[in-house]
Every structure is written in C-alpha cells, then in structure tokens.
Structure 1
C-alpha cells in the first residue's frame, strides 16, 4: 500500500456482482479508513431524508478501542465501503498459474483523498469499528475492506439494511462459547466468561443441584433442562460484584480468581434452596416460579445477604438452611399468592419490575426473620 498527497494506492482483487457492479477486496491501515471514506449520518432537511448511518455509539467505540489497545489482537472483521466511480483500478500483468480459479482479477486500486463531506467512499457497514480504528494506538493495523462501486444512495441504504437486518448472535450461544475462548476479549464479553464457566460446572457436575437442569444453546431439546442459563449467569454476575457479592471474596484479578471456591459456594446455597423447596425444584417455569428467570434472579440476589451471615458462622450450610426454612412458609412458588406483593404465584413475570419487587421482598423478609427474638 502506498500513498501520495492526492490518493491512496492499495493492492486489490476485483470481481463483479449484480448487474455488472465492480466489487473490490483489499487491505488498508485502520487510520486511513476515515481519511478516504465519509460516514453518511441519517438526517432530514426540509424536503427529504438524508444519509442512513446512526449516531456514533461512544461506549461501543470505546470498547473496541480498549480491545485493539490490549495487545496483539486478531480483528479480521471486514469494513464495507461504497466507492465512487472516480476510483481507478489497474490489473496486474504477468503469467497466470495453471488451474487458477478466475473469480477475480488482481491489480492496484487508487482512491483519491478528499476533504470530509466530499470523499470518494462512504462507510456502509462498520462505522463504529472505523472510528475505533482511527483512535487506536496502532495506526497501522491492517483492516480487510470490501468495496462496491456506486454513487446511488438508495443502493447504499439497501446494503446497510441487508447487513444489519441479519439476526445478531444469540446471547446464550455467545455465553456458552465464551469459556472455550482463550484469547483476549473485549471487556463486555470478558465479564461473562467466568459466570458462564460456573454455569457450565453447575450443569455438568452430578453433585450440583442444577445437574442437567440448565438450558444451554447446545441443547438438543432435553425436556429436563428447565433453567435459563441467561438468568443464572445474570444472578452469578451479581454475586461476583464487590464488596457484598457472595462470590466477590474469591475474585480479585481474573488470573487469581478461585472458581473452585465459587462453585462450592454456589452448590452449598442452591442445594439448600432445592432441599427447602423440593415441590418447586426441577419443574418447568410454567409450573414453578422458582425455576423461572424471576425466581432464579431473585433468589440469586438473596444469596448475597444469606451467605454474608453464613460465612461468619461456625456451620455455613446449617445457617443457610435455617434462613431458607424461615422463609419457606411465605413463598408461593407453585400456588397461592405472594403476601405484600399483591401477585398470584403465576403472575410473577421476568420483567425488571417483578424481579426487583420479588428480590426486595425476599431480602426484607429474611432480615426481619433473622433478627433475634426479644
């Protein structure tokens, strides 16, 4: 790749799609993306809709920058550009290897440098990544680019919609894959890796109260799996939050965390839950709100308070079981109604409002019942 004062020259491969539309594949330095391409922000003037790109999402851009700056990283995600017909392509000369698949023609692509608002390319997909690459410490990070030649804003919009209408990866699939990934990850994914691994252990270990009860993305339809892994992972993430999270004492830096101790603590608490509410354990969420995402998250919140007392007692297991036994008469997991909540057992839903109300009710009730009688 070379550049002068007026243009950027890169090695590229050209092919055609659609009705004779030239499409190019090439690499350039990340810092050059915003020098050759404009971001067409969506807005309206007095007559019509302009552009198509959403606003910059600063938190997303910041997360990508942190990942790019974290060390040697693999970042092969291609940016899609619409290219002005002003670009120039010169095919390479020379002999062709025997058996060459003539899918594209190699050569050099010249893209002129222009001032912002008048550039010879427009970012169709990857604006957040492009902004992050421009801010990353390594300005010469090589980035794959796919570019198609068109000035037609309608085509730009069509491609933008087609690229972004594809359903995002299922969060459950991402969570299950995370423990298998050994490389550096962006912070927003890395924080889920440990909870997901603990979720795996709880589902696989025969001594776990959740043994084969957790629904994971890799399940093939086992009807015995009734607990949402997303709900349990959310509960474990809360248990990991310092300073009062039940698992936070075992988590310092990622490399010094003690997942074995975390697993044992989770097993102790949730085994007591299972034994205290045997009639509600292992049933489908429609039959038991304890197995519902609302019940899992609310009981996960209660875990922090109960384990704080249990950890300072001579017999943590007994302390947890006694606390739950005190609560048992007031719980309506499979029938009846929740006193003070004004909700029948099956009215509890997995909304933030219901989860918060149920968790607060259980926590307040536990505080009241755990006070020594006078």
Structure 2
C-alpha cells in the first residue's frame, strides 16, 4: 500500500464488457479505508439515497468474536461497488488470460483524509465490514469481489439480488424497488408498482398518507409520526391490482402498460374520503386507532374494491363531485365502525383486540363489505 493508492494482485473476470468485475484481497484494516456503507435515507425533498439497512450490533459482535478467536478461516467475502477511477493493468507474459479471467494489478485510489468519502461502497457484507474494522487481526486477508459501477441503479439492483437467500426486511425492499430501473426477477417485479404507489402516497402533498407511512428510511425523530406500516398499504394495493380488484382494469395486459396516474387518483380520492369519514381515528398510532392498524388498512382496502367499483360505474375519476360520491358510500358503514372504542357489532370483538392476522382481516373485511352491501340494498 502506498500513500494514496492500494495496489493488489487481481483477476479481471470476463463477464460483462460494460461492467468490469474484479476478484482480489484486502487486509481487514484496509476495508474501512476503501469502502463506505450507503445507508438508506431521504433528503428534505424526499429523494432516496443509499440502500443499506441499519447496523445490527449483535451480529457484528458475533462476527468479531469469531475473528478474534483461534484458527480463523473467513471465506465470506465482500461485494464492493468500485469507482471508475480504479485502474487495472494486465500482467505481462504469454498467457495473462485463459478466456475467463485475466490476471493483473488493480489500483484503488484512497481519499486524501479519513474524513473524506471512501471511493467504494459496500453492496454486500456491511456487518462483516464493521467487524473487520474492529478486529485485532488487522492484516487478515479478506476476499473481495468488486464491480465498477457508480450508478446507484446498478448498485441497488445487485444489492437486492445478492440478498435473496437471507431475505432483506420487506420495508427495505419495498422502498428500494421504485428506484431500480433494471429488469427484476418476477417476484420482485410484481412488488414494484405497489411500492411506487405507496412511496407516492407517503410523499405527495395531496395524499392523506403524507408523512404517515413508516419506511426503512424513516429517521428516529420521525418514527412517532409514522403510524402506518408500508407493508400493510402495499399488500392492500397488491390485492386490488389482482383480477378481482378495482385497480386491475387499469393494467393493459396486451402491451404491458399501466395507467399509474389513474390508479394513484383512485387511491388518493378513496383514502381521503376515509380520512374525512373517520377524522377522530385518522393519524393516531395503531394502539389508539385500529383504522391505522394493519387490520384496518387491509380491510378498508378490500372495501375499496366494492366502493370504487360502484362509484366509477356512474362517474369518472376526474369528476368534480367524485369525493362527495365516495363519502356518500362510506357514510353507509360509518355508524357501524368502532376504530377507537367500543365493540364491533356482530363479530362481538372489542375494538383493540382486532389484530393484523389473516383471520381478523377476513372477519373485519367481510363484516364491512356485508354492512355496505346490505345498507346499499336498503337505501335503494
């Protein structure tokens, strides 16, 4: 290691001509010099930065205890996103490459000071990297796979892919998906549109959910304000995008396009009407209001399919009286709801004993739909 650069023998893997991939080794103490952790966060304008979850101190402690123990073997490598300023020089000689890999020397520039940003970002192995920075075995060689990509889209895509065996927290995946523009596996691709919609509901000024949705990037000082779990909303929207849901008709299966703008309008109109119908229960923590609880969000999401199907049969989503129409439909169930006190009739359950379980979601949603249907029949 020289003053401003780390030089390491490396293999350049001939995998993708547009994204160089290198295999090399760093000393444990050098990992902290080379790589930063891109923590997930948002700026004041709501733009998403980074992709890594918070540090797990207990996990780091366990790794450190092993590293500081006897007979250490640490084949668990790191994956780094390297800057375009790295340089690779192939070795001289008759056979530096076998067609799969080329041997040579990789040069990684170092920051001018400890306070300056590191040149690389950790895509996989942040808990290991923290333990490596603390271990007494500071010169332990660590295997590294590094790909050259400063584009956050590519980094996030790789981050999601390498964490499929040990699943990432669902809220972290949900918040990252809208930022990934590369082709995703089918399982993740199906979650992208609902995640985009929930992100918009949490960010847009006309949304009743603005600032209320708890996401992976939610800072500790804002957690008391975020009372709705993003996964509850995502699941409710996902169900409505299924063939039996009101949002399904806005997906064009023939050409693979989706009228996202209309879907967003439907969600904003419906949930604003919910907020205005139950103002005393809106925005409270789930322990004080089952409306903001997973069981409330999921059940009202299922009711949305019935209500909005009825409303949109007679009016366009851009009709000037669309909000009044939805409010009129919700008024049919309002007297029967007990989000903050009392007992739910017929299902004979105290308001605060409803839980976010498949059984309770099914019981409450069936009750709301039945009351809505019977009240409509009685009103007609």
TM-score, length basis structure 1: 0.56
Q: CA separation of 1:330/1:296 partners in 2, compared to 1, >3 Å: closer, same or farther? A: same
SS in 2 for 1:280: coil
In structure 1, C-alpha distance between the alignment counterparts of 2:342 and 2:211, rounded to whole Å: 28
In structure 2, C-alpha distance between the alignment counterparts of 1:246 and 1:373, rounded to whole Å: 23
SS in 2 for 1:271: helix
In structure 2, C-alpha distance between the alignment counterparts of 1:93 and 1:251, rounded to whole Å: 57
Q: For structure 2, list consecutive stretches of 5 or more residues without a partner in the other structure.
A: 1-21, 28-77, 80-90, 97-103, 107-144, 146-161, 316-320
Q: CA RMSD in A?
A: 3.6
Which residue in 2 is equivalent to 1:177?
176
**Does residue 286 in structure 1 map to residue 287 in structure 2?**
yes
Q: CA separation of 1:100/1:248 partners in 2, compared to 1, >3 Å: closer, same or farther? A: closer
Moved over 4 A (4+): 12-15, 92-96
Which residue in 2 is equivalent to 1:260?
261
Spell out, residue by residue over 1:321-364, the C-alpha distance to the aligned partner (whole angstroms, 9 max, x if none): 11211211110100001111121000000111001111111011
Q: For structure 1, list consecutive stretches of 5 or more residues without a partner in the other structure.
A: 1-11, 18-76, 79-91, 102-145, 147-162
Task: Kindly state the Cα deviation for residue 93 of structure 1 after the two structures are TM-superposed.
Answer: 10
SS in 2 for 1:311: helix
Number of matched pairs: 234
Task: Kindly state the Cα deviation for residue 13 of structure 1 after the two structures are TM-superposed.
Answer: 8.0
Which residue in 2 is equivalent to 1:313?
314
**Does residue 327 in structure 1 map to residue 333 in structure 2?**
yes
In structure 2, C-alpha distance between the alignment counterparts of 1:219 and 1:202, rounded to whole Å: 15
In structure 1, C-alpha distance between the alignment counterparts of 2:287 and 2:257, rounded to whole Å: 40
Which residue in 1 is equivalent to 2:218?
219
Which residue in 2 is equivalent to 1:241?
242
**Does residue 200 in structure 1 map to residue 206 in structure 2?**
no
Larger radius of gyration between Structure 1 and Structure 2: 1
In structure 2, C-alpha distance between the alignment counterparts of 1:288 and 1:373, rounded to whole Å: 29
Contact map agreement 1:313 1:319 (CA 8 A) in 2: no
TM-score, length basis structure 2: 0.55
Which residue in 2 is equivalent to 1:342?
348
Matches within 5 A, 1:90-109: none
